[in-house]
């Protein structure tokens, strides 16, 4: 009987190792053919795509450059109907360059005699408007500029400090949507404020005054939209760009004044309207303004 024994001893037989088949001498294994045509096509497509992308980017950059260069620099862009094309955008992007709060007082100081000369000694024919505590007169300054002079009731020393603080604030505010403050008079007990003159009066006169409507044209829709937008930008400046914010607290059509081209400006925004009143560390929010009316602020 045949037995498979290893010379060294009883060792189980191991499987034979696998080797690659031997090749005949003089012959090499077949090579995989390389297609040069496919590589060339890939390179060409990549170059064309890169050139196309570069061309698109170049055209886009050029178009943006031309668009930025040709864009008008006006703060208010209007279409053929006179309405703003950017009502949906934030008004601040147009207002910021023109609005600021000055760090120095820039108001002119007038004597009472100068105010008398400017208004013809407060002649009744120059009276523009009157309220419960003030009268407004049309005046002409020594340099020939038209102005509106607001004559406040005579006040004593107990309100002099508050008056000067308000004047200091008014002289620091600069916005195309606020009535420009020119100067003031604090001669003895006389307290007067000089503003720019708005020839078309108040919005209230155009909307409700019968005498005014008879001699003036009705405001069309586009003009009303411009007036509303100007007034909104004026409030935004007082609320967002002044510290502390100024709350008007009597924002009615009476305080929206109209210029020669019906641009709107807010008036009466400085006196006793600096946010809320503070006494002994406590804050009081008094209701001021027109009786029976609360401003939407």
Is 242 among the domain residues? yes
Q: Can you say whether the dihedral through the CA atoms of 60, 62, 68, 72 is positive or negative? A: negative
Strands 108-109 and 181-185: parallel
215 CA to centre of own chain: 35
Taking only the tens place, the pLDDT of each residue in 89-115 is: 433 333 333 455 555 557 899 999 999
The total number of structural domains that make up the chain: 1
Going by pLDDT thresholds of 50, 70 and 90, the confidence category of residue 279 is very low
Q: Among all chains, which residue has been given the structure tokens 């401003």?
A: 295
Question: Please, are residues 226 and 288 in contact by the beta-carbon 8 Å criterion?
Answer: no
Give the CA dihedral 236, 240, 244, 249, nearest 10 degrees. 30
CATH number at residue 99: 1.10.510.10
* Domain assignment present for 197: yes
Q: Provide mean pLDDT across the span 17-32.
A: 54
Q: Is 277 a catalytic residue?
A: no
Reading the block at residue 177, the tokens are: 């949507």
**Nearest of 152, 98, 147 to residue 118 by alpha carbon:** 147
Is residue 52 assigned to a domain?
A: no
Tell me whether residue 31 is in a domain. Answer: no
Q: How far apart are CA 162 and CA 124, in angstroms?
A: 29
Q: Is residue 28 part of a domain?
A: no
pLDDT at 157 exceeding the cut of 50? yes
Is 29 a member of any domain? Answer: no
Is residue 1 in some structural domain?
A: no
Q: Which of 86, 160, 168, 250 is catalytic?
A: 250
pLDDT at 96: 37
In 10 A of CB 129, how many CB atoms? 14
The pLDDT tens digits of the residues spanning 215-258 come to 556 788 999 999 999 999 999 998 888 888 888 878 889 999 99
Residue 120: give the domain boundaries.
92-284
User: For residue 181, what are its two tokens?
Assistant: 């403050």
Q: Is residue 7 part of a domain?
A: no
């Amino acid at each position: 009987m045949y037995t498979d024994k290893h010379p060294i001893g009883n060792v189980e037989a191991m499987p034979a190792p696998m080797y690659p088949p031997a090749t005949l001498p003089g012959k090499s294994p077949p090579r995989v053919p390389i297609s040069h045509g496919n590589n060339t096509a890939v390179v060409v497509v990549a170059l064309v795509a890169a050139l196309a992308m570069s061309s698109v980017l170049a055209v886009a950059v050029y178009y943006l450059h031309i668009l930025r260069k040709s864009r008008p620099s006006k703060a208010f862009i209007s279409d053929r109907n006179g309405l703003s094309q950017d009502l949906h955008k934030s008004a601040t992007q147009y207002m910021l360059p023109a609005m600021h709060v000055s760090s120095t007082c820039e108001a002119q100081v007038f004597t009472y005699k100068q105010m008398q000369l400017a208004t013809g000694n407060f002649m009744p024919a120059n009276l523009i408007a009157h309220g419960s505590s003030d009268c407004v007169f049309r005046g002409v300054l020594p340099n020939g500029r038209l102005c509106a002079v607001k004559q406040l009731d005579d006040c004593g020393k107990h309100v002099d400090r508050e008056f000067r603080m308000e004047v200091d604030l008014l002289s620091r505010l600069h916005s195309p949507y606020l009535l420009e403050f020119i100067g003031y008079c604090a001669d003895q007990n006389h307290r007067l404020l000089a503003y720019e003159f708005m020839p078309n009066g108040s919005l209230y006169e155009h909307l409700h005054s019968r005498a005014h409507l008879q001699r003036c044209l009705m405001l069309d829709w586009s003009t009303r939209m411009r007036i509303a937008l100007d007034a909104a930008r004026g409030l935004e400046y007082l609320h967002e760009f002044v510290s502390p914010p100024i709350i008007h607290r009597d924002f009615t059509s009476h305080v929206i004044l109209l210029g020669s081209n019906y641009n709107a400006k807010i008036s009466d925004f400085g006196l006793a309207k600096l946010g809320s009143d503070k006494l002994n560390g406590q804050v009081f929010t008094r209701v001021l303004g027109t009786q029976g009316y609360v401003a939407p602020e």
